[in-house]
């Protein structure tokens, strides 16, 4: 299965993995949580306990007005999630390009006056 892996402070990376729970858990470092924050059939798979385990903040999730509504903690990946199936699939080439662009720039977060501030991290680990 061809997926897009997004690690904290890194640019997204295309990887091939086996379509197994173990392979998915290895990428996120623990139990998986699946969310569907996009209009197209793409799943975001992250560590279910990322916030509790205080994993590094990775990327902000934004609504249609580009307002951040949540932060993904730890490494996550994106894969296809067809509506008519209960299995994940490879991302299409178009989806890979779209989400590489969306998550290309790593982000850094900190608290300020009761709000979370998010800025692009220009220098990132490669």
pLDDT in tens, the chain (126 residues): 999 999 999 999 999 999 999 999 999 999 999 999 999 999 999 999 999 999 999 999 999 999 999 999 999 999 999 988 889 999 999 999 999 999 999 999 988 888 888 889 876 555
Share of the chain above pLDDT 70, in %: 97
pTM confidence score: 0.92
In this prediction, residue 117 carries a pLDDT of 85
In this prediction, residue 85 carries a pLDDT of 84
Q: Is residue 126 part of a domain?
A: no
Q: Mean pLDDT across the chain, nearest whole number?
A: 94
Q: Where are the beta strands (DSSP E) in 55-114?
A: 57-62, 68-73, 76-80, 107-112
Domain count, the chain: 1
Share of the chain above pLDDT 90, in %: 83
In this prediction, residue 124 carries a pLDDT of 59
Q: Is residue 8 part of a domain?
A: yes
In this prediction, residue 123 carries a pLDDT of 65
Q: Is residue 34 part of a domain?
A: yes
Measured distance CA(88)–CA(82) in Å, rounded: 7
Q: Is residue 16 part of a domain?
A: yes
Q: 50-54: which pairs have CB atoms within 8 A and are 24 or more residues apart? A: 50/74
Q: Is residue 125 part of a domain?
A: no
Name the residue range of residue 94's domain.
2-120
Q: Is residue 62 part of a domain?
A: yes
On whether the CB atoms of residues 71 and 57 are closer than 8 A, the answer is yes
């Amino acid at each position: 299965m061809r997926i897009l892996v997004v690690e904290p402070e890194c640019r997204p990376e295309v990887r091939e993995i086996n379509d197994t729970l173990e392979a998915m858990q290895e990428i996120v470092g623990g139990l998986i949580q699946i969310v569907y924050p996009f209009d197209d059939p793409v799943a975001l798979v992250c560590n279910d306990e990322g916030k509790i385990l205080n994993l590094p903040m990775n990327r902000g999730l934004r609504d249609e007005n580009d307002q951040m509504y949540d932060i993904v903690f730890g490494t996550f990946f994106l894969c296809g999630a067809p509506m008519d199936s209960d299995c994940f699939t490879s991302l299409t080439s178009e989806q890979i390009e779209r989400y590489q662009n969306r998550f290309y720039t790593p982000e850094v977060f900190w608290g300020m006056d009761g709000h979370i501030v998010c800025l692009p991290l220009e220098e990132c680990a490669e």
